[in-house]
Amino acid sequence: MRERINYKGSLEFIFICWQGNAIKTMTFPCLRVLLVSLVVIAACADDAKRDDDRAPKSESCNNPFQLVKVEDWIDGEQRNVYNGVTARFGSLLPDKPLNTLITPAVFANPLHCCSNSTSKLSGSVALCVRGGCDFTVKAEFAQSGGATAMLVINDSEDLFEMVCSNSSEANISIAVVMITKSAGESLNKSLTSGRKVEILLYAPPRPLVDFSVAFLWLMSVGTIVCASLWSDLTTPEKSDERYNELCPKESSNAETAKDDFDKEIINIDSKGAIIFVIAASTFLLLLFFFMSSWFIWVLIVLFCIGGIEGMHNCIVSLALRKRQNCGQRTVGLPLFGETSIFSLVVLLFCVAFAIFWASTRQESFSWIGQDILGICLMITVLQLARLPNIKVATVLLCCAFVYDIFWVFISPVIFHESVMIAVARGDKAGGEAIPMLLRFPRLFDPWGGYDMIGFGDILFPGLLISFAHRFDKDNIRGASNGYFLWLVIGYGIGLVFTYLGLYLMNGNGQPALLYLVPCTLGVTVILGCVRGELKKLWNYGTDSSLSTDPSEV
């Protein structure tokens, strides 16, 4: 999950504002960290299932963890639905509410359930608080008191996975479920007010495939295709010779804009690619050890700054394609000088959009704003950073390939959990996920949630695919005998493999570049070898590269 940016010793974030029809650029070295942030954090293709495989197991303590729906019925009316998780031990719950019974809820006495309860638990769901003794001990006392199930109220808003404390047998036949602190407080408020509280427990399974991944697939592939074709899409429509003769001023401004933009293009070299991945790893570790709620806010602000710039650039570029004269009226501003009124209005709109997203990021619809800002940012970044040839692409993507696998699959051996997944999930920031992800809600999943893909899983292959488009264009290649179309198809297939791996591994987060790099870089190398062009692709843009005669194509 990364991005790519030139590394010739420094990273520069480009702020673009329009002056008339020409682009006026300024570099802000203090925002270099933004680019590193956007690259480093975008982790896995999905939110990860939490499972403690290192916990002691036995024949009676080897249950899979089930996500549980906990419905409370107050005075015969269904009121609230809470989420819970079953223990490694005890009985499993049915997957449909029709297959279970509504049972009265009773607080045990003592509340920690570490001794026989003086409250009558027979035929009831026992409510206990966490702490005081092992979970299996609590369950044994609740079971001996005749309880049909036990709800353990956590001391925080997390759902802790309850496991056996040792490898001995746990002779528990009732269901044991943990709920959050707020859920327990709600139940306690109802019980202390003298109302009749009943509980219904069931564990609906997640669908094998949720169609939201198809929309995420379209967003990812579409972002790369749009970014690769962006220069073609934003070329002014009125660019013919007669129009240029009639509008010499506008033609001159357009040429000046193109020249200024070309000067800001950042070409990645092999050394920079290696340094970048090392820097990304360092930053990832800093996030893992020091991430907190204020750190998340720093990332949110950086994401908003990048998103504003990307959105502004995309809107202005598309608008000027249709009507070049919309940037003619200017106004003088401190620091920026003469800036077009249109550009300023667009900038204010983008700022308002980003602020609205940041203030409503906890709402169910916030994924829309996040995806819009993220897609615009990635399109802009893919215009500013380029791979010169396959040699550099191989170095960058191979390093990213190893980086992704190491921090997802190998880092648990060293750090006892996956660093990449922990950072992406926001475990140390109150569960608030980082914003450097494209998200789409699981529409048909009873548990909700989102399917996600990190920016780096789009940006890294996107660099290679953008290069393929430029190579085809420079050498006058068609769709079938070029490289661009085949790499887009390879990227799409790689995403399919990513989600297939996700489902086969039972929802555990996947390093998407494990599948995407072979399906893009591998396809390029194979096609280059078959066509006898690998040497040209390898050294393209250097003195040793071979030129291609368009008549030979």
Placement of tokens 């950086």 in the chain: 302
Backbone angles phi, psi at 292, to 5 degrees: -150, -175
Rounded Cα–Cα distance for residues 486 and 481 (Å): 9
Contact 280, 403 (CB under 8 A): yes
Burial 333-365 (b: 16+ CB within 10 A, else e): eeeeeebbebbbebbeebeebbeebbeeeeeee
Alpha-carbon span 396 to 391, nearest angstrom? 9
Which strand (E) or helix (H) includes residue 129?
Answer: strand 125-129
**Angstrom distance (rounded) from CA 224 to CA 468:** 12
Strand 125-129 and strand 149-153: the pairing is parallel
Q: How many CB atoms lie within 10 A of CB 449?
A: 14
Joined together, the tokens standing for residue 195 give 């109302």
**Pairwise CA distance, residues 149 & 142, whole Å:** 8
Is residue 48 within 8 Å of 418, Cβ to Cβ?
yes
User: Is the Cβ–Cβ distance between 131 and 155 less than 8 Å?
Assistant: yes
Q: What are phi and psi of 148, to 5 degrees?
A: -85, -20
Task: Please give the Cα distance from 509 to 441 (Å, whole number).
Answer: 16
Radius of gyration of the chain (CA): 28
Distance CA 30, CA 310 (A): 18
Please, which residues have CB within 8 angstroms of residue 409's CB and are 6 or more apart in sequence? 418, 511
Residues with active-site annotation: 404, 457
Question: Counting Cβ atoms within 10 Å, is residue 294 exposed (0-12), middle (13-18) or buried (19+)?
Answer: exposed
- How far is Cα 456 from Cα 460, in angstroms, rounded to an integer? 6
- Look up residue 508 and give its amino acid: N
Whether the Cβ atoms of residue 239 and residue 324 lie closer than 8 Å to each other: no
